[in-house]
Amino acid sequence: MFLSPKKMFGLSLLLAAGLSLSGCARESCPLNFLKEKKGLELTVLHTNDTHSHVAGIDKYGNAAFGTEKSVGGLGRIASAVKSIKAEKDNVIFVDAGDQFQGTLFFSVNKSPMLAEINDHMPWDAMTLGNHEFDDGCHALAKFLERSKVPALAANLAPEKGCPLLKADYAPHIVKEMRGEKVGIIGIANEQGSTLAAACEHTKFTGMAETLEREVAELEAQGVKHIVVVTHIGLPADRELARSVNGVDIIVGGHTHSFIGEGTGSEGPYPIVEKAPNGQPVLVVTAKRAAQYLGQLNVTFDEDGVPASWNGAPMELKNDAPVDPEVAAVIGRYAATLEEFRSTVIGTHDLDLPDGMDLCREVECLGGMLTADAMLEQARPHGASIAFTNGGGIRAALPKGNITRGDILTIHPFGNVFVLREYTGEQILAALEHGVKGEGAKGPHLLQPAGLRYEVDSTRPEGSRIVKAEVLGKDGKALPLDLRARYVTALTDYLSGGGDGFAMLTEGNVVESAEPLVADVLDGYIRSHSPITAPEGGRIVRVK
């Protein structure tokens, strides 16, 4: 039976250990498995979760519309990568998904804008995040047809009737670097149907089994160096690294994780896991919003096993060069946003937690205002509670003038306001689901109005809500009654079971107008400007 060099890795360690125990000196062993012979040197540059922050981010962490006062952005990324590729012939550049959605750029111009920008980006490959499915499979298929960047999704298995059945994507590609083959495999986000709008015929195969199959196919072609580009989140990346032999590097996205030196880091750069055979697997990711470019430098031994490595995520600051070709395309699309950005609807001067990241951790200004606006809209229909999920808040509300463009940036998904009647038991189940993530944080976290709750993150999932109260118009608080029924305002995304809120699909429909959530918030800000601080204490963390 033939064993590839990497499959021999674990056996070689055992044999070497046995020789050592039998008294064989390292220098005199007839089979010196421990000797490292220098092989391919490879640089992997990477991005993830750019979320259409094509011009970078401003001081609030919101999408910028030009490069004058921003950091990051695709123009700076393109310039940095092109410069590195001009100096070195051993560089690959990959994107780990979620290019779609998240800014006014995308809300107005959609994926054709990204496809045109990608014409000037030096990516060698990308995979598909859940947000690539936001506008449905037809839109994604058209993007894949138009984009020049190879899209990789080995686990995507569309059935008959899905527009992606004959779409332009592949499970893997092979690049040649200094005479050596480097395989790049893509693993797409399998929650495209639950977190986005993939059609019912969009199916996915198991990640570990798929990866084992792809690795075996590449090894049969003589590929010794394998990079996997995923959009499944850092914890899942680490688990995948520990589950499959033959993978050298995993470049991930989805959880917006930052690794490396600095505040909020979730680990060193790279995180080193061990495959079942003992081989090191290097796991990297680079936060979100095109702020960072990851750079991982790896030297392999002659069998294609990582022997040494270094690197770091590089923040692309304001003084970093901007690629003129990319900048020109972005500038043209920025001009299409002027009408939205010039329509002032209100103002505020508040200093409260806010933005995409904070709305997943604590009560935030955007979440509270959205929920308050929804509850005000719903009170005439008998509603007493409103909530939206933290992951639905995509930007902070900037201080000063608030524009229509700001509202569409905060709420870019086109979610609709709906009314449903739930039992207290169903609402409690939804609150528990919202805090099931690590540290009771994450995109599921519910930002409420008319309700407050206390969380103990140290308790097991399903029992972290230690107190929940419903607030009357007079401010009086009553315990959530599990048998009572409550008319609740929420988004159609949540009532349809998005983000895994299956319990919210079971509510009774309450007839009402169903405007866009963005329009509800717009009207609220116009009528309440200047905005005063909303009542806090809605999400209390006791531990």
pLDDT of 250? 98
What pLDDT score was predicted for residue 22? 34
Domains of the chain: 36-334 (3.60.21.10), 345-541 (3.90.780.10)
User: What was the pLDDT predicted at 197?
Assistant: 81
Q: What is the pLDDT of residue 217?
A: 98
Residue ranges, the chain, pLDDT below 70: 1-37
Distance of CA 202 to CAs 2, 13, 236, Å? 37, 43, 21
Q: Is 481 helix (H, G, I), strand (E, B) or coil?
A: coil
pLDDT one-digit tens code per residue, 327-369: 999 999 999 999 999 999 999 999 999 999 999 999 999 999 9
For the chain, give the percent of residues with pLDDT over 90.
Answer: 87
Q: Which two structure tokens, joined as six digits, stand for 374?
A: 């929804």
pLDDT of residue 381: 96
- DSSP class per residue in 175-241: EEETTEEEEEEEE--TTTTTTS---TT--B--HHHHHHHHHHHHHHTT--EEEEEE-S-HHHHHHHH
Strand-pair partners of 292: 315
Within 10 A of 508 (CB to CB), how many other CB atoms are there?
Answer: 11
The terminus-to-terminus CA distance of the chain in angstroms comes to 55
Given this model, what pLDDT does residue 1 score?
A: 42
| Residues contacting residue 95 through CB under 8 Å, at least 6 positions apart | 46, 47, 48, 50, 123, 125, 126, 127, 149, 229
Name which of 93, 107, 121, 96 is nearest 52 in CA terms.
Answer: 107
Q: Which pLDDT value is given to residue 114?
A: 98
* pTM to 2 decimal places: 0.83
Residue listed under structure tokens 């011009």: 55
Q: What is the DSSP letter of 133?
A: G
pLDDT at site 4: 63
Provide the edge-to-edge strand list for the sheet that holds 451-455.
Answer: 477-479, 465-471, 451-455, 539-541
- pLDDT of 33 reads 40
